[in-house]
């Protein structure tokens, strides 16, 4: 048991098994395999026909998701509080990304879309708007994860990923972190970064998978 956490808090913060994930067109989170088009990054980039990414596949990559009540945030959501306590997310701030709110918007959006990894989990809780996190799977395919209002997404340390807004051009999200936040991206190739080796080891130490994922 996490020190200081009650049984109720542990239950509220518990990870759902993939077969119960809130994943799909009518949910706060949807995921699919991307096409190879060079069109606007803010477009959906679905394959034809669409090929959804199963929750089990995302879970195997280390991604974790929750669907929360965004309306409850301002009045103090007990589920969010429990997740923060159990997972040790001691820091939070709020970021709004729109053409009006973010200086050098177009340049920044292109920078967010550069493939990179972090040395810590990346945790985002969408309060308003929506956007895409793309993650690499074991076959080097991009999986696009559409995060809408109420989605809480955890991207694991060491996974190659990128972010962009969708065509709505607006998102307000809570950023959570364990301890003092470090936002430094390590652009690909970053095989020398210890977090990369740690991530590959978490996949089971599969040598073939490691070779595929290497730059």
Does residue 211 carry a pLDDT above 70? Answer: no
The range of the structural domain enclosing residue 157 comes to 17-213
93 belongs to a structural domain:
yes
Query: Does any domain span residue 69?
Result: yes
Query: What is the SS3 assignment for 80?
Result: helix
Instruction: Identify whether 50 is part of a domain.
Output: yes
15 is in an annotated binding site: no
pLDDT band at residue 207 using 50, 70 and 90 as cut-offs:
very low
Residue 180 sits in a domain whose CATH number is 2.60.120.10
Q: Is 118 annotated as a binding residue?
A: yes
* Residue 1 covered by a domain: no
Mean pLDDT, to the nearest integer, of 184-205? 93
Q: What is the pLDDT of residues 139-159, one digit of tens each?
A: 999 999 999 999 999 999 999
What pLDDT, in 10s, does the model give residues 76-91?
999 999 999 999 999 9
Q: Regarding predicted confidence, which is higher, 68 or 208?
A: 68
What 10-15 contacts at long range (C-beta under 8 Å, 24+ apart), as own/partner pairs, is 10/82, 10/86, 12/78, 12/79, 12/82, 12/83, 13/79, 13/82, 13/83, 13/85, 13/86, 13/87, 15/64
For the chain, what is the domain count?
A: 1
Closest by alpha carbon to 89, among 2, 147, 168, 171? 2
Q: Is 92 annotated as a binding residue?
A: no
Whole-model pTM over 0.85: yes
116 in a known ligand binding site: yes
- 184 is a domain residue: yes
Integer Cα distance of 61 and 55 in angstroms: 10
- 46 domain residue, yes or no: yes
């Amino acid at each position: 048991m996490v020190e200081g956490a009650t049984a109720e808090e542990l239950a509220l913060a518990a990870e759902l098994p993939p077969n119960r994930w809130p994943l799909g067109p009518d949910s706060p989170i949807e995921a699919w395999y991307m096409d190879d088009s060079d069109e606007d990054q803010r477009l959906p980039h679905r394959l034809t026909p669409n090929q959804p990414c199963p929750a089990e596949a995302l879970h195997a990559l280390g991604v974790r998701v929750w669907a929360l009540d965004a309306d409850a945030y301002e009045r103090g959501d007990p589920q969010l509080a429990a997740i923060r306590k159990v997972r040790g997310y001691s820091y939070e701030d709020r970021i709004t990304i729109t053409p009006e709110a973010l200086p050098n918007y177009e340049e920044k959006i292109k920078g967010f879309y550069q493939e990179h990894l972090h040395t810590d989990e990346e945790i985002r809780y969408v309060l308003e708007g929506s956007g895409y996190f793309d993650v690499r799977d074991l076959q080097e395919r991009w999986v696009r994860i559409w995060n809408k209002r109420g989605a809480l997404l955890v991207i694991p340390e060491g996974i190659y990923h990128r972010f962009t807004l969708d065509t709505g051009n607006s998102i307000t999200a809570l950023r959570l972190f364990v301890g003092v936040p470090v936002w430094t991206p390590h652009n690909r190739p970053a095989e020398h970064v210890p977090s990369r080796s740690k991530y590959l080891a978490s996949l089971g130490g599969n040598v073939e998978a490691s070779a595929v994922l290497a730059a």
